[in-house]
Amino acid sequence: MSENDFRPGHADGYQPQQQSYPYYYAHQPTPAGPALAPPPRKKKRVAALVSATAVAAALVGGASGAAIVGLEGGSSAGSNSTAAATAVSGTTSTDVSAAAAKVLPSVVQVNVTTSQGEAIGSGVILSADGKILTNAHVVSGAVGNVTITLSDGTKYQVSVLGADTKADIAVLQAKGASGLTAATLGNSSQLQVGQEVVAIGSPAGLQNTVTSGIVSALNRQLSDIGTGGQQSSPFDQTSARSGDSPSYTAIQTDAAINQGNSGGALVNMAGQVIGINSALYSPSSSAGSVGIGFAIPINDAKTIVNQIENG
């Protein structure tokens, strides 16, 4: 990625709920001799599904926790996505660089002014005259200018043509743009688990960032990720789901997706966009990638774009 980087929320941004979980130890007979100390208790781990859109550092008002929802999770370890992908697929860095070179000119940084400060996301160019595909949560809450920055540094102001918050898709239009490099859209129905992919976006505002990994799983229902009977969304301001919370079937990938990647491209080795990065799963103590990210399949995104344009 539902994903976006931290999205600013209300001034009293939602904080992750702390939950206590029971510990269990198996009783085993103790052999004769000195008493053995019981094994150390495992520490609680609380994880979060975090939207992949970044808020600028030192956000005034301090609502940086608004996009985190507490989830029970096991231990997670960071991963070197590029190395892991190479080991699994046997591909070389040349394949990654070639795919990235095809798509980098078609991925933009999206800067949004909200009531809480500046938020950062990413987007994918759909047409030479400046039609841009991004996540709905990237531009939600915009109260001022929305701008995009091309890979070469050129900036444009944009208008929001429409958004579907349930599908987490929005379409932007750059004002006065022409001659932009449109991305080639692939077919997400042909994806296979283990296939190598590349993620491109602006994590933490670092534009033109490329990471690589594999498709870890397909058809992940983000609406099913939660704790107990309450389903949690990375976009809710509270832990309970609301009717317009994003809910879609996602591509899971271990390509590093961090805050600011939301709306950026997930690409196959042919340089075709096969997903729109939208969310990441991360321990609540860290907003960084631990190798579990989610992207909206491009076939689903194309359907929503057509509905927005013809709606």
Domain holding 160: CATH number? Answer: 2.40.10.10
Instruction: State the chain's mean pLDDT as an integer.
Output: 74
Per-residue pLDDT for 10 more than 60?
A: no
Closest CA to 223 of 247, 241, 251: 247
Residue 158 forms part of a structural domain: yes
CA angle 62, 281, 22 (to 5 degrees): 95
Measure the CA–CA gap between 44 and 25, rounded to whole angstroms. Answer: 15
Residues 78, 81, 85, 87: is their CA dihedral positive or negative?
Answer: negative
Helix (H, G, I), strand (E, B) or coil at 95: helix
Residue 64 contacts residue 16 (beta carbons within 8 Å): no
Residue 152 forms part of a structural domain: yes
Element (H, E) at 99: helix 93-103
Residue 303 forms part of a structural domain: no
Residues 20, 244, 7, 188: is their CA dihedral positive or negative?
Answer: positive
pLDDT digits (tens, 9 = 90+) for 259-293: 999 999 999 999 999 999 999 887 765 567 788 99
Q: Look at 164 and 16; give whichever has higher pLDDT.
A: 164
Q: For residue 153, what are the domain limits?
A: 107-174
Of the pLDDT bands very low, low, confident and very high (cuts 50, 70, 90), residue 155 is very high
Residue 216 forms part of a structural domain: no
User: Per-residue pLDDT averaged across 107-133, rounded?
Assistant: 95
Is residue 10 annotated as part of the catalytic site, yes or no? Answer: no
Residue 274 contacts residue 267 (beta carbons within 8 Å): yes
Is residue 137 annotated as part of the catalytic site, yes or no? Answer: yes
Residue 295 contacts residue 188 (beta carbons within 8 Å): no
Per-residue pLDDT for 307 more than 90?
A: yes
Closest CA to 165 of 132, 138, 137: 137
Please tell me which residue in 95, 106, 137, 247 is annotated as part of the active site.
137
**What are the DSSP calls for 86-136, one per residue?**
HHHH---HHHHHHHHHHHGGGEEEEEEEETTEEEEEEEEE-STT-EEEE-H
Residue 91 contacts residue 85 (beta carbons within 8 Å): yes
Predicted local confidence at residue 266, as pLDDT = 98
Residue 138 contacts residue 201 (beta carbons within 8 Å): no
Predicted local confidence at residue 39, as pLDDT = 54
Residue 126 forms part of a structural domain: yes
Measure the CA–CA gap between 194 and 188, rounded to whole angstroms. Answer: 14
Measure the CA–CA gap between 126 and 128, rounded to whole angstroms. Answer: 7
Residue 136 forms part of a structural domain: yes
Residue 135 forms part of a structural domain: yes
β partners of residue 211? 199
pLDDT digits (tens, 9 = 90+) for 163-187: 999 999 999 999 999 999 999 999 9
Measure the CA–CA gap between 265 and 298, rounded to whole angstroms. Answer: 9
Helix (H, G, I), strand (E, B) or coil at 211: strand
pLDDT digits (tens, 9 = 90+) for 194-240: 999 999 999 999 999 999 999 999 999 887 764 333 333 333 322 23
Is residue 164 annotated as part of the catalytic site, yes or no? Answer: no
- Compute φ and ψ for 54, nearest 5 degrees: -95, 145
Query: Can you say whether residue 301 is alpha, beta or left, with left for phi > 0 and alpha for psi between -120 and 50 degrees?
Result: alpha
Residue 66 forms part of a structural domain: no
Domain count, the chain: 1
Please tell me which residue in 5, 95, 164, 168 is annotated as part of the active site.
168
Please tell me which residue in 233, 262, 278, 284 is annotated as part of the active site.
262
Residue 2 contacts residue 137 (beta carbons within 8 Å): yes
Residue 242 contacts residue 248 (beta carbons within 8 Å): no
